[in-house]
């Protein structure tokens, strides 16, 4: 399908000549003789031209007013103005409104063709960026935080509210692997800054000297090896979101500089003499208790209070085990597609083992376990032998003990009382093939008591819902 070009020209002879020329060049041309016709094509008929070539002064008004009216609705199209009455003020206003170029009549046709071709390339690039942003928005909607548990629903509610307001700073807490990066991407791509950049950095991954340069940038000659100006990550994130993971590892002097950036929306690169204005939305994450760190002087209290305008704490996977039923099939499907596998059947023994594990690495650990099992699967069945959950009840369930009916539990503090209880119940249910009556007889308890514990711990059992 040919790209569309809107031509707004009141001189009929020139307008028809240009329309024929561009049609011969493969364009689908719409000719409008005045501002009203152009407005009708763009707004009422929802024409989305790749390029608009327009006269400036038209019988019913100035085309600059039309550009100002439709610039947020024009789908990435570039505007080129032609006028016989050009002025410096008009050209400045046109460029300020986002016009691609401003030319005086008469304009050489070859030059106009070159400028239209350049405008078309620019418009296509803009549309690709918009399409990519829309795709990322679909990939990171609020529903991307998967789970049926009350904890997961609560997280989605907070993410939905935050995505609807222009917050300046946010702290996301939670254990390693709970999805702080995912929550940040949801907030960015579902919020008002989705078209802007999302810049991510792990503050624990770089030494202090390099981290300062990476965050704030530097001028040429600021230090040995600084041969040219470097735009820091904060400046690169302007207009979008900056995600600082493990912010608790940031040195105190860098925390002071970061606080100034948040407060003033300005920064001074290393070796620079002038400040640079920035516009960022800051999301900070830490698996450490920043409030506790601030009380003992290991984290600046003023920065903590500035960041914690909003707070969000992500729950560990062991506190939302029922979400495994939503997460596991999703991750299996992802690695099926990546590895060209066809795992479809997840045995009850697998569900029991997954529900019994404490998941110290949370969703990140779950993804790693599922990836290994899918890669090593020989058919359409999820292989229980490759779960290999270390030091947990799931490992014992996946590989039953060979010492009769005895269970061995560690008393070194590696398992809590609840984990031991869960381990005993899950092992009994697994050995009874999901039959609660048989498992209750093994444990010397009633079926009702066992059924309560099965539901409490989210353990899969064949007759748990009876």
Buried (b) or exposed (e) across 323-334, using 16+ Cβ within 10 A? Answer: bbbebbbebbee
Q: Is 232 buried (19+), middle (13-18) or exposed (0-12) by CB count in 10 A?
A: buried
Do 9 and 30 meet the contact criterion of CB atoms below 8 Å apart?
no
Residue partners of 172: CB distance under 8 A and separation at least 6: 180, 183, 184, 283, 284, 285, 311, 312, 313, 314
Distance (Å, whole) CA 91 – CA 101: 8
Alpha helices (runs of H) in 140-272, residue ranges in sequence order: 150-163, 180-190, 208-216, 233-236, 252-264
The token pair at 168 is: 């300046």
Q: What is the tens place of the pLDDT at every residue in 340-369? A: 999 999 998 899 889 989 898 899 999 999
Most confidently predicted of 106-120, 399-413, 441-455: 106-120
Q: Are 351 and 397 in contact (CB under 8 A)?
A: no
Q: Answer whether residue 399 shows pLDDT above 60.
A: no
Banded pLDDT at 403 (limits 50, 70, 90)? very low
Distance separating alpha carbons of residues 154 and 463, to the nearest angstrom: 30
Q: Return d(Cα 304, Cα 45) in angstroms, integer.
A: 51
| pLDDT above 80 for 370 | yes
pTM over 0.95: no
Cβ proximity of 32 and 57 under 8 Å: no
Token reading at 138: 């679909």
Is 90 in contact with 54 (CB distance < 8 Å)? no
Q: How many angstroms separate the CA atoms of 448 and 120, rounded?
A: 71
Full set of structural domains in the chain with CATH = 4-136 (3.40.50.2300), 143-315 (3.40.50.300), 319-457 (1.10.8.60)
Query: Is 93's pLDDT higher than 50?
Result: yes
Q: Which residue has the higher pLDDT, 63 or 74?
A: 63
- Which of 221-230, 339-348, 421-430, 441-450 is most confident? 339-348
Distances (CA, A) of 409 to 29, 48, 194, 394, 414: 78, 68, 50, 13, 10
What region does 437 belong to: left with phi over 0, alpha with psi -120 to 50, or beta?
Answer: alpha
User: What is the band of 117 on the pLDDT scale with cuts at 50, 70, 90?
Assistant: very high
Beta strands in 56-214 (DSSP E): 57-58, 61-62, 78-83, 101-104, 169-173, 198-202
Task: Tell me which residue has tokens 């003990």.
Answer: 401
Read off the pLDDT of each residue in 169-182 and give the average, rounded to a whole number: 93
Q: What tens digit of pLDDT does each residue of 143-155 get?
A: 999 999 999 999 9
Mean pLDDT of the region 384-408:
57
- What 3-state class would DSSP assign to 104? strand
What pLDDT is attached to residue 412? Answer: 56
| CA angle (112, 113, 119) in 5-degree steps | 90
Q: What is the pLDDT of residues 188-222, one digit of tens each?
A: 999 989 888 999 999 988 888 789 889 998 888 77
The percent of residues above 70 in pLDDT, for the chain, comes to 90
What percent of the chain clears pLDDT 90, i.e. is strictly above it? 48
Q: How confident is the model at residue 401 (pLDDT cuts 50, 70, 90)?
A: very low
In this prediction, residue 73 carries a pLDDT of: 63
26-67 pLDDT, tens digit per residue, is 999 999 999 999 999 988 888 889 999 999 888 898 888 888
Q: What is the pLDDT of residue 182?
A: 95
Residue 323 tokens read as: 């979400």
What does pLDDT average to over the chain?
Answer: 86
pLDDT at 71 over 50: yes
- Lowest model confidence (mean pLDDT) among 107-116, 126-135, 431-440: 126-135
């Amino acid at each position: 399908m040919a790209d569309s070009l809107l031509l707004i020209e009141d001189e009929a002879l020139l307008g028809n000549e240009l329309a024929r020329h561009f049609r011969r060049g493969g364009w689908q041309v719409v000719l409008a003789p005045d501002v009203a016709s152009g407005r009708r094509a763009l707004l009422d008929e929802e024409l989305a031209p790749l390029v608009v070539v327009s006269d400036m002064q038209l019988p019913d008004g100035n085309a600059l007013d039309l550009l100002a009216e439709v610039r947020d609705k024009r789908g990435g199209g570039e505007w080129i103005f032609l006028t016989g009455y050009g002025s410096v003020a008009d050209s400045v206003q046109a460029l300020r409104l986002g016009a691609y170029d401003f030319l005086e009549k008469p304009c050489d046709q070859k030059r106009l063709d070159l400028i239209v071709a350049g405008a078309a390339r620019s418009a296509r690039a803009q549309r690709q960026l918009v399409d990519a942003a829309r795709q990322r928005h679909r990939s990171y909607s609020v529903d991307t935080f998967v789970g049926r548990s009350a904890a997961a629903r609560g997280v989605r509610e907070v993410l939905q509210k935050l995505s609807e307001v222009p917050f300046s700073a946010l702290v996301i807490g939670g254990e390693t692997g709970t999805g702080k990066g995912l929550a940040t991407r949801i907030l960015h791509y579902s919020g008002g800054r989705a078209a802007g950049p999302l810049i991510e950095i792990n503050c624990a991954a770089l030494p202090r000297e390099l981290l300062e340069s990476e965050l704030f940038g530097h001028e040429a000659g600021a230090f040995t090896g600084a041969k040219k100006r470097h735009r820091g990550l904060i400046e690169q994130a302007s207009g979008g979101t900056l995600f600082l993971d493990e912010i608790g590892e940031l040195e105190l002097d860098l925390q002071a500089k970061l606080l100034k950036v948040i407060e003033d929306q300005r920064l001074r690169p290393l070796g620079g003499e002038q400040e640079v204005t920035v516009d960022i939305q800051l999301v900070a994450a830490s698996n450490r208790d920043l409030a506790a760190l601030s009380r003992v002087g290991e984290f600046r209290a003023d920065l903590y209070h500035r960041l914690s305008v909003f707070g969000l704490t992500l729950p560990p996977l062991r506190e939302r085990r029922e979400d495994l039923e939503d997460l596991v099939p999703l991750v299996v499907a992802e690695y099926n597609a990546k590895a060209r596998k066809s795992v479809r059947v997840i045995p009850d023994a697998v569900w029991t083992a997954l529900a019994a594990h404490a998941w110290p690495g949370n969703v990140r650990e779950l993804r790693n376990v599922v990836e290994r099992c899918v890669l090593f699967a020989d058919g359409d069945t999820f292989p229980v032998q490759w779960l290999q959950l270390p030091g947990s009840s799931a490992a014992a369930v996946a590989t039953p003990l060979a010492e009769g009916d005895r269970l061995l539990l560690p008393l070194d503090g590696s398992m809590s009382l609840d984990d031991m209880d869960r381990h005993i119940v899950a092992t009994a249910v697994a050995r009874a093939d999901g039959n609660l009556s048989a498992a209750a007889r093994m444990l010397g308890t009633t079926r009702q008591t066992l059924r309560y514990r099965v539901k409490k711990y989210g353990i899969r059992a064949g007759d748990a819902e009876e």
